[in-house]
Amino acid sequence: MSHIEYNENGHARAFVGKEAVDVFAMAALAAGLRLYAKTGIRPNRAWTPRAMMTAAAHHLGIKLKPHDYERAAELLSAKVQSEKARLAKEEK
């Protein structure tokens, strides 16, 4: 069973299980897309804009426009929040 462990300040400190790790990956990808959209800076060499959009489309399960980085980041962030809520609900 996947879950996210939080510290006493409410910050996530561990992502346990495939679904929880996917939540972390989506959050990191959303941050990378926002960084690229605002500054043109890639998070690292491997994360080209095309690779980031391909990964975003994979996580979201929808087709995205090639240069719609902000929208992809918004959709990923929304999915991260819903998945966090779902994992917390399943844990109880």
- Tell me the pLDDT tens digit for each residue of 33-82: 999 999 999 999 999 999 999 999 999 999 999 999 999 999 999 999 99
Cβ contact 76:56 at 8 Å: yes
Residue 38: both structure tokens together = 């605002």
Most confident segment among 10-14, 49-53, 86-90:
49-53
What number of other Cβ atoms are within 10 A of residue 4's Cβ? 20
Predicted pLDDT at 92: 67
